[in-house]
Structures are given as structure tokens and as C-alpha cells.
């Protein structure tokens, strides 16, 4: 069976991606820092039809990444798809966020994706695996999001890295895809101050962001990831942007000239 590795798989989008690969009958290696949560995800992967492999993983730590990949390769084999999904954010004005939080954000979102891809690509090339590296990014790359400046910068860095790495890998059979995500219902902002989030939404609307209340489900993003990976060989989908549809009736349509409501 083909093998998928998913980082940041303990909840939200990562959990949904792992389950989606399970639904395709894949072996799915799930990694994350919350080991207790991974057990539940493994059960969901198995229920979907996949074979789970569980191991704690901290993408900020190269040694942790090496140990994770070594264990996966020894148990189920070289990955056919690796999804760099781990991410976090601390909202706020950049000068007000503690330096250690900024450092954690950069190390998790950007360095973590780089280190994961660096470790993943070697066995793919050595074993002539025609595989996929998928990088989960954010629409904050395309539309800068104030009070999330560091997050936007890290995700922009991930996209630049993915494009450059994709060029390096042309002709090897290893594809790089960016899955750019809009507002999604997950635990991503679970630790944020709710009162602050309530103030952020109208603030972002001043910049043309968060124009409506539509929100994606994690499974919607997972579907995009699987679509890219299952694309026929010879086909490359470099970027997929997934956005929620505006709920029907939430924004009144403009009445054409000459007509009355």
C-alpha cells in the first residue's frame, strides 16, 4: 500500500488529511506533539480503511524529524506523499508579541516545513519514488492579514520554498504542491483570546478580509490535498486555493439598473 506522512496530525486539518488518506486505503503515518490526541486520530484512520502509524513529532527539531521518518521507513516503507501541515499563530501587533512566541511561530511554520521536506526527499530520490510533497499554506500569503504578520510571512516563505524546491525536483517524479487555505473550522485558534478575536473580525473587514461568514470544514481542505496527490502521473497541480462559499442570502445581490427590489 502507498504511504502518506502527515505532520500536525493531532487535530483539525491534519487529522482530516490523515483520515482522507485512510479512506483511500493508504498506510498513514501521523505525527504531532500531542501524543495523546494521535491515538484518537489513529482510530479514525483505521475506521476509514487505512493502516495508521503513530509517533510523536516536533517539526522544530531535526532530530525528532529524523527519528520519525526512520521509524516510518522501518515499519511501513518510504513515503509516497508527505504533507507538511504543522502550523500555529499568535495574533497581535508584532511589537506586542513576546519574542519567544515569534520564534516558535517561525520555527514551526517555516523551518518545520523546510526540515520535513529536506528529510522526506532523500529516500524518495534514492528509491526512485514518484511521490508528492504537499505544503499547507494560507490565503494570508495572497491577502496580507494585519495582526497576523508573522504568520503571513512564514506561510509566504513556505510557498517560496515549495516553488523553488519544485524546480529543483523537476524531472525526478517528485511533485510539490501548495494547498492555500481560507477560513477553516479547526482548533488552530483554540488558544486565542475570544474577546480579541471578536474585535479582529470587523478590523479585518476594513481591509477587505473576512467579507462573509462562510467557513470551511477540515475535510474540505483534506479533499484538496488528496486530489493533488492522486492526480495522474504526468499531471502537476502546483497550487490549490480552497475558500468557503458565501452562505446563501448573507450578502444581498446588487439589483440591476432599472429594476426595483
Half-sphere exposure of 142 (CA within 13 A, CB side): 15
Separation between Cα atoms, residue 59 and residue 139, nearest integer Å = 22
- Whose cell is 500536525? That residue is 8
Closest CA to 31 of 83, 74, 81: 83
Q: Which residue of the set 21, 26, 135, 151 is catalytic?
A: 151
DSSP state of 241: E
151 belongs to the catalytic site: yes
Separation between Cα atoms, residue 48 and residue 39, nearest integer Å = 14
Whether 119 and 69 have beta carbons less than 8 Å apart is answered as: yes
- Whose cell is 525528532? That residue is 64
Catalytic residues: 151
Amino acid at each position: 500500500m502507498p504511504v502518506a506522512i502527515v505532520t500536525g496530525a493531532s487535530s483539525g486539518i491534519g487529522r482530516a488529511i490523515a483520515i482522507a488518506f485512510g479512506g483511500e486505503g493508504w498506510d498513514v503515518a501521523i505525527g504531532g506533539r500531542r501524543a495523546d490526541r494521535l491515538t484518537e486520530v489513529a482510530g479514525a484512520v483505521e475506521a476509514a480503511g487505512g493502516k495508521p502509524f503513530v509517533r510523536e513529532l516536533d517539526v522544530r527539531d531535526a532530530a525528532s524529524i529524523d527519528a520519525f521518518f526512520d521509524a516510518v521507513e522501518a515499519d511501513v516503507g518510504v513515503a509516497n506523499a508527505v504533507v507538511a501541515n504543522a502550523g500555529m499563530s499568535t495574533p497581535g501587533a508584532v511589537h506586542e508579541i513576546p519574542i519567544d512566541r515569534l520564534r516558535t511561530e517561525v520555527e514551526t511554520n517555516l523551518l518545520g516545513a523546510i526540515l520535513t521536506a529536506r528529510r522526506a526527499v532523500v529516500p524518495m530520490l534514492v528509491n526512485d519514488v514518484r511521490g508528492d510533497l504537499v505544503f499547507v499554506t494560507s490565503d494570508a500569503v495572497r491577502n496580507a492579514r494585519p495582526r497576523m504578520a508573522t504568520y503571513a510571512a512564514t506561510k509566504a516563505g513556505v510557498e517560496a520554498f515549495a516553488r523553488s524546491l519544485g524546480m529543483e525536483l523537476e524531472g525526478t517524479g517528485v511533485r510539490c504542491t501548495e494547498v492555500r487555505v481560507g477560513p477553516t473550522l479547526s482548533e488552530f485558534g483554540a488558544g486565542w483570546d475570544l474577546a480579541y478575536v471578536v474585535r479582529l473580525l470587523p478590523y479585518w473587514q476594513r481591509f477587505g478580509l473576512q467579507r462573509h461568514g462562510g467557513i470551511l470544514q477540515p475535510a474540505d481542505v483534506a479533499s484538496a490535498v488528496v486530489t493533488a496527490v492522486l492526480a495522474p502521473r504526468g499531471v502537476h497541480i502546483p497550487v490549490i486555493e480552497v475558500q468557503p462559499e458565501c452562505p446563501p442570502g448573507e450578502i444581498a445581490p446588487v439589483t440591476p439598473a432599472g429594476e426595483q427590489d
